Amino acid sequence: MILSVLLLVLIVGAALLLMLSPLRQGTPDDPDAPERTRLLTERDRLYTELAALHEDDPKRPDLERRAALTLRGLDALPPAVQGNARRTGRLALIGVGVMALLTVAGALTFVPRWQLAALNADESRNVQAVLELPGLRRAAERTDTDAAYMAWGKAAFDSGQYDQAVTAYGNALKQNPRQPEALRRLGILLLTRGEQTGQKISDADAERATLLIRTAAQLAPREAESQLLLGFALARYGQDDAALTALESYRTLDPKGRDADELITAIRARQNDSDPALRVYAASCASCHGAAGGGGIGPSLRASRLTRESLKAVTLQGRGAMPAFPNLSAAELTGLLDLMEKWQEEGQ
């Protein structure tokens, strides 16, 4: 904050120094002034002498020749720089006004952006999105196009201005109802509105919101956010297996994404309490094959075509980079094999 104030003071000081300098200087300097003054003095002197001579005076031709040379010298000089105190003052005041406007603009744009250097990447993007919101909103309302509404909605959503995001994405879908980003983000905002307002969402509204998210995932199954928000929506209604499948897809599409970690952990905890096979799987297999067998570092167990005997052999003896698990009890092994065969039947 202190640095920002100092920067503004320096900008204002520099602006005033530059803009008021014409007032201090008055008429601008004429680099040819000495020579111009000498020639004008010489011209006036010669004219005075010529005026005092008779027409037939023998000195007259020489004086006329010298006067002509003096006039030629004056003509050869560039035009004198003419100063105008009133005009100079007016220009200076206009300049001060312009610099004041630029200073205000700098306070609202340059200084905040300069301060972004102290923020991390996500914080910086959020602050920039907030700064851009008013302009994006005006552009959307003026042009009434889906692209402008999408730009406004994205900036609002990314900066946490969710009321604006709902309005923007809703208008974008009126223009074009097949926009995955608008569908899934509007859906998740409607689905979680109760958490934001403290009011319980109705079952009908919850179903509509979930449908928006499902539709987005169908339109753009390879977009990580589609699978992430689908996973959140399914988990809210206790569809843990389907939620894990979606969240695994999210992790595959965005290996660096960490937004699903807590939810995956919570779902695993719920499942492990009720299913011994899932407890064994979570402890020994999930880190490589995914929370619900959809694959990760290791291959997908849901896409596997191995027989039960082959699955048993690989589990107990290992294969390639996969370690062996020879210490599983008979009950643990049976439950694990039953689980993998169930996933094979369900598929992806």
pLDDT per residue as tens digits for the range 180-237: 999 999 999 988 876 666 667 787 888 888 999 999 999 999 999 999 999 999 988 8
Region 150-169: what's the mean pLDDT?
Answer: 90
pLDDT per residue as tens digits for the range 277-299: 888 887 788 778 877 788 877 88
Cβ pair 335, 280 in contact under 8 A? yes
State the DSSP string of 48-109. HHHHHS-TT-TTHHHHHHHHHHHHHHHHHSPPPPPP-HHHHHHHHHHHHHHHHHHHHHHHHT
Domain extent, residue 310, equals: 278-348
Residue 174 lies in a domain: no
Predicted local distance difference test score (pLDDT) of residue 116: 47
Residue 120 lies in a domain: no
Predicted local distance difference test score (pLDDT) of residue 319: 87
With 50 as the cut, is the pLDDT of residue 124 above it?
yes
Predicted local distance difference test score (pLDDT) of residue 197: 63
Predicted local distance difference test score (pLDDT) of residue 52: 76
First and final C-alpha spacing in the chain: 54
Residue 28 lies in a domain: no
Question: At CB < 8 A and 24+ separation, what contacts does 37-41 make?
Answer: 39/70, 39/73, 39/74, 39/77, 40/74
With 60 as the cut, is the pLDDT of residue 95 above it?
no
Helix (H, G, I), strand (E, B) or coil at 2: helix
Q: Kindly list the distances between the CA atom of residue 281 and the CA atoms of 50, 79, 251, 288, 343, in Å, as whole numbers in the listed order.
A: 120, 94, 18, 10, 12
Identify the CATH number of the domain in which residue 297 sits: 1.10.760.10
Residue 137 lies in a domain: no
Residue 289 lies in a domain: yes
Tell me what percent of the residues of the chain surpass a pLDDT of 90.
25
Q: Which residue has the tokens 């052999």?
A: 313
Predicted local distance difference test score (pLDDT) of residue 94: 59
Residue 124 lies in a domain: no
With 90 as the cut, is the pLDDT of residue 149 above it?
yes
Q: Which residue has the tokens 């995955």?
A: 180
Cα 35 to Cα 71: distance, rounded to the nearest angstrom: 12
Cα 101 to Cα 179: distance, rounded to the nearest angstrom: 40
Predicted local distance difference test score (pLDDT) of residue 222: 93
φ/ψ (deg, to 5) at 54: -75, 160
Residue 172 lies in a domain: no
Predicted local distance difference test score (pLDDT) of residue 77: 72
Lowest-pLDDT range, 85-94, 241-250, 290-299, 331-340?
85-94
Task: Please indicate whether residue 169 or residue 59 has the higher confidence score (pLDDT).
Answer: 169
Rounded to two decimals, the pTM is 0.50
Cβ pair 63, 49 in contact under 8 A? yes
Region 91-109: what's the mean pLDDT?
Answer: 54
Q: 43 CB contacts (<8 Å, ≥6 apart)?
A: 67, 70, 71, 74
Q: State the SS3 of 287-338.
A: HHHCCCCCCCCCCCCCCCCCCHHHHHHHHHHCECCECCCCCCCHHHHHHHHH
With 60 as the cut, is the pLDDT of residue 169 above it?
yes
**pLDDT band, residue 111 (cuts 50/70/90):** very low
Q: Two tokens at 174?
A: 């009126």
Residue 325 lies in a domain: yes
φ/ψ (deg, to 5) at 160: 80, 15
With 70 as the cut, is the pLDDT of residue 101 above it?
no
Region 140-166: what's the mean pLDDT?
Answer: 91
Predicted local distance difference test score (pLDDT) of residue 292: 77
Handedness of CA 61, 65, 70, 75 (dihedral sign): positive
Report the chain's mean pLDDT, rounded to a whole number: 78
The total number of structural domains in the chain stands at: 1
Q: Two tokens at 252?
A: 């595959």
